[in-house]
Amino acid sequence: MLGVQSGGGKRRTRAATSSLSDRQEGKIKLVFLVATVGITLAVLGVGTEFWVELASSKTFYSNETCLAAHYGLWKNCMKKLWVADVDPERETCGPIDLPGESNCTYFKIYTTGENTVLFHKTPAKNLTIISAMLAIFSLFLMVMGAVCIIMALSKGVQFFLKPAAVCFKLSGLLVFLSLIIFHQSVLSFLASDHSIPLHHELSWYSGRGYESSGRGYAAV
């Protein structure tokens, strides 16, 4: 009897020490709110087609119109802009938010396996697929981390907080790896053909460059 009571007392003691106080629960709810905002922004970032913007010289095709493009992990868009709308001091077509005719298509590499050609250049299919898969797995880990936080709140225990932290750390690492690999795919894309010089900018990123026939550079 004493052994049974002693064992029950130990279990109650462990349960009491693992339960959450009101202050801890408030902090966890705040973390969950921040995580929800982060997951939402990550989904929007992965889904957008503005990972990179491309612009040819504004006088390369004609004196009236010029071409610009932008694409992400899943979708690419070509846009015809009026040269008259472009800043006279700007040498390339753009910016992309100017009014013009836009034509968007999804990458066929995920359905039929066909490569996409933009400005006679071909994006690196393998690198694009790898960066996309890393981004998806990162989102999966973010969701799993959020589920762990919900379990910690619903069960009132701290046990689920450690796996939640691991999930969020790994997801952040995968996002950075996805960006690095995508950057390499952009450089490979620019090097695939030099017949059309292009100016490129990675959205929300300081990297930009101008690739011309025979040579090019990109600041990282």
Angle at 177 between CA 105 and CA 179, to 5 degrees: 40
The pTM score is 0.76
Looking at residue 2, what is its pLDDT?
A: 40
Select from 141, 193, 195 the least CA-distant residue to 172.
141
Mean pLDDT of the 127-143 span: 94
User: May I ask the CATH class of domain 37-218?
Assistant: mainly alpha
Query: For the chain, what are the domain ranges?
Result: 37-218
pLDDT-based confidence at residue 108 (cuts at 50, 70, 90): confident
The more confident residue out of 21 and 183 is 183
Q: How many CB atoms lie within 10 A of CB 100?
A: 17
Select from 211, 157, 215 the least CA-distant residue to 189.
211
Tell me the range of 10-14, 114-118, 154-158, 161-165 where mean pLDDT is highest: 161-165
